[in-house]
Structure 1
């Protein structure tokens, strides 16, 4: 008898997940339409929908349009029943957003990082999360989770194993944040988060094979292959910023030399701009907009260096699109032509035939949107698995 009870509970969990998925994907829709889409009988659908309504995940909107006969009641996912925090922990900034359960941004915050000392960065991180949490309106689930993108290698326990541009190693960030806030925390490489953000909300929607190139102080890449995030055997894929593009090039903090990010990142741009009297990207963008020839030449060089690495990526992965994101996305007008020209010259003809090079629709917010989506996805998976 216990076996049968267990089986029934498992079936209910599976069917609840199927019904909630239908609402998430196709709402507004009626109970009858859910039955048609899922193959579940109408009585089962009605029972499961009532459970979802009781648990504040689905709202009954009342009668919709009639196709003849009584108007069916339409159902909608209750995106405001809980909220998620997404964080992009950069090398020189912390960007945070608060979203509803559909990923719509309802509040945001950005802090400048002037130190890489772990305790001080964590203190600023806590301040950012807390300020967002205080803006959550009254709702059944409150803060459902926190997603954080970081510029480094992350293991399955949410520890940052190595973040060369932060000079961090072995920092158990997930455990630290979970202890402070008491909700589930997901940590991933920021380029993976950016890839998810663009696939879910931006330029990568509906594209099967895409490489997201995060160009900030360093360079990271998130690879979505056959619509799935590719993480590699140890979960550490995507460190293409450390491709060697010069065999005897400059030494890198990672221990290699001649790494791509030493020549094509925001940091590389700032190093080259220092003799001209510029020390931040904002000033360089302003000068480029005013037609400063020396600054335009610098952006052209960075675009070409980006194109060299992207051509290598195209030759290896043959993606549908490459999406350039993070802070250097802001320089699209001044790096785009040189980047495209270099890829056209260096990538194999058959590989670039159907290739598109795009700039992130979410701009510098790709990673933070993806990080919030991680938290939302984990919460919804938990609700589906619980049978609510």
Structure 2
């Protein structure tokens, strides 16, 4: 049995390894001496920990850097090609997948349309997409380190989809199903949470403390980041703001409520109204708007106003620095932005509005899939730092 002192030393080494690895990931290229200066760890400790990380193939030497008077220091880089992650955005009418390196850069991507919501039809398409991405992975020491999936619904800590009204799924243990099939760690979260993480890590939300990501697809979901941390609520299910009522006696929703925001401001709401004009998909509507079709422009403006109503409510509740509009409707920025901004300005408390901005996702409709891949990367790095 290990003595307490030995156990404490092992724990300290793990903590210091995590500090060194995080420093290299965040600030590379940098030398051992620079790591020592920035972390406060002594040079001998840093050299030992760096050698462990090099032996683990997570860090590589990148030749000499600039000399400050003596011998040129050897610079260190995080080995982003040590392994790869798969991110999946499981939408209501599409599956989008990416293969990324450990810094989140996209190497391969796939997208396919979904014509059905039946689990027995969707699951084979989902697994085929994952297999396809795995087959495209370059050789690496760690292979696929994880699969992250964003889904449009409420997800338990165990990765079970408890309720996804627009997919008509309940109690689907997707995480365990996929882990059994692929024998790879799987992380599943709400799609809007994944989108919020994607924009915070790689997009419009970088370095912003309080931000709300609004995913506008067939439905509407929101990812809430407060003090740079994803807010999940007491039971882990926060963010269902698409089901805020904005019409007291409004249309019935699949969630069981009525007058829900997503019934008036989502892609589905857009398509329902566009059917009267002879349009059946978002791409055709975007093309018509670009061509100046007046009836379509009016329709987009109406959707923008409805989006603005819900966003104003969010701003009045959370007082964020930014609200980021993402997912498929972000492609309509040119035709909804003015209406969104005007409506938010008119309906938001002045004290909340003065320093707040409404932005569109920098990653466009890839926020969630990039965030899902980030979940897989983050879980892997966490296991490395813990020594699992």
TM-score range, shorter chain: over 0.9
- Give how far 1:114 is off: 0.7
Cα distance in 2 for residues equivalent to 1:264 and 1:186: 29
Cα distance in 1 for residues equivalent to 2:101 and 2:318: 35
For each residue in 1:142-171, what CA deviation from the matched residue of structure 2 results, as whole angstroms up to 9, or x when unmatched?
Answer: 000000000000000000000000000000
Cα distance in 2 for residues equivalent to 1:36 and 1:2: 32
Aligned to 1:255: 256
My pick for the range that moved more, 58-67 or 302-311, is 58-67
Aligned to 1:296: 297
Aligned to 1:30: 31
TM-score, L = length of structure 1: 0.99
Cα distance in 2 for residues equivalent to 1:37 and 1:344: 44
Cα distance in 2 for residues equivalent to 1:273 and 1:166: 22
Matches within 5 A, 1:106-145: 106-145=107-146
Cα distance in 2 for residues equivalent to 1:364 and 1:129: 19
Aligned to 1:186: 187
- Give how far 1:375 is off: 0.2
Matched, 1:339 2:347: no
Matches within 5 A, 1:56-135: 56-135=57-136
Cα distance in 2 for residues equivalent to 1:359 and 1:317: 18
The 3-state SS of whatever aligns with 1:204 is coil
Aligned to 2:53: 52
Cα distance in 1 for residues equivalent to 2:245 and 2:208: 28
Matched, 1:11 2:15: no
- Give how far 1:7 is off: 1.3
Aligned to 2:288: 287
The 3-state SS of whatever aligns with 1:157 is coil
Matched, 1:218 2:216: no
Cα distance in 2 for residues equivalent to 1:337 and 1:138: 48
The 3-state SS of whatever aligns with 1:212 is strand
For each residue in 1:303-361, what CA deviation from the matched residue of structure 2 results, as whole angstroms up to 9, or x when unmatched?
Answer: 00000000000100010000000000000000000111111111111110001110000
The 3-state SS of whatever aligns with 2:166 is coil
Aligned to 1:196: 197
Cα distance in 1 for residues equivalent to 2:248 and 2:255: 15
Aligned to 1:242: 243
Cα distance in 1 for residues equivalent to 2:4 and 2:317: 50
For each residue in 1:280-311, what CA deviation from the matched residue of structure 2 results, as whole angstroms up to 9, or x when unmatched?
Answer: 00000011111111000000000000000000
Cα distance in 1 for residues equivalent to 2:198 and 2:185: 19
- Give how far 1:120 is off: 1.3
Matched, 1:350 2:360: no
- Give how far 1:4 is off: 1.7
The 3-state SS of whatever aligns with 1:81 is coil
- Give how far 1:63 is off: 1.2
Matched, 1:307 2:270: no
Aligned to 1:321: 322
The 3-state SS of whatever aligns with 1:95 is strand
Aligned to 2:165: 164
Query: Which residues of structure 1 form unaligned runs of 5+?
Result: none
For each residue in 1:225-283, what CA deviation from the matched residue of structure 2 results, as whole angstroms up to 9, or x when unmatched?
Answer: 01000000111000000000001000000000000000000000000000110000000
Aligned to 1:177: 178
* RMSD between aligned residues: 0.7
The 3-state SS of whatever aligns with 1:361 is coil
The 3-state SS of whatever aligns with 2:70 is coil
The 3-state SS of whatever aligns with 1:138 is coil
For each residue in 1:350-376, what CA deviation from the matched residue of structure 2 results, as whole angstroms up to 9, or x when unmatched?
Answer: 110001110000000000000000000
For each residue in 1:159-188, what CA deviation from the matched residue of structure 2 results, as whole angstroms up to 9, or x when unmatched?
Answer: 000000000000000001111111111000
The 3-state SS of whatever aligns with 1:22 is helix
The 3-state SS of whatever aligns with 1:61 is strand
Cα distance in 1 for residues equivalent to 2:36 and 2:308: 50
Cα distance in 1 for residues equivalent to 2:330 and 2:23: 35
- Give how far 1:8 is off: 1.3
TM-score, L = length of structure 2: 0.99
The 3-state SS of whatever aligns with 1:68 is coil
Q: Which runs of 4+ in 1 moved over 6 A?
A: none
The 3-state SS of whatever aligns with 1:234 is coil
Cα distance in 1 for residues equivalent to 2:319 and 2:65: 46
Cα distance in 2 for residues equivalent to 1:15 and 1:205: 26
For each residue in 1:7-42, what CA deviation from the matched residue of structure 2 results, as whole angstroms up to 9, or x when unmatched?
Answer: 111111111111101101111000011111111111
